[in-house]
Amino acid sequence: MTSDDVVLGDDDGVLFVAADRAGDVLETALSLFRTEREQARRIAAGETLRDQTRFDAYLAGRAEDPSYTFRRHLRRIGGAIEE
């Protein structure tokens, strides 16, 4: 860490970031926040997270291909929150 770094934090922890990357990191964090809020809204409206993530389809894919990961499944259905 140098004086050119910034510290960002929330309830989940703290992150030390080079100042020239802070905007990118904050943009990604905002995207994650929005996705999580939308998931929560849909849960409150009665749609389970299991349904939102098409978990049954994931299990079927995993049965066909044991290397099929949940992360890959979420990417395939457009549900990955970290991207």
pLDDT in tens, 45-54: 999 999 999 9
In the chain, what's the furthest Cα-to-Cα distance? 51
Give first-to-last CA distance, the chain, whole Å: 26
pLDDT in tens, 32-71: 888 889 999 999 999 999 999 999 999 999 999 999 999 9
Comparing 3 with 83, the larger pLDDT belongs to: 3
- The encoded tokens of residue 16 equal 């030390």
| pLDDT score recorded for residue 82 | 63
Query: Residue 33 belongs to what H/E stretch?
Result: helix 22-44
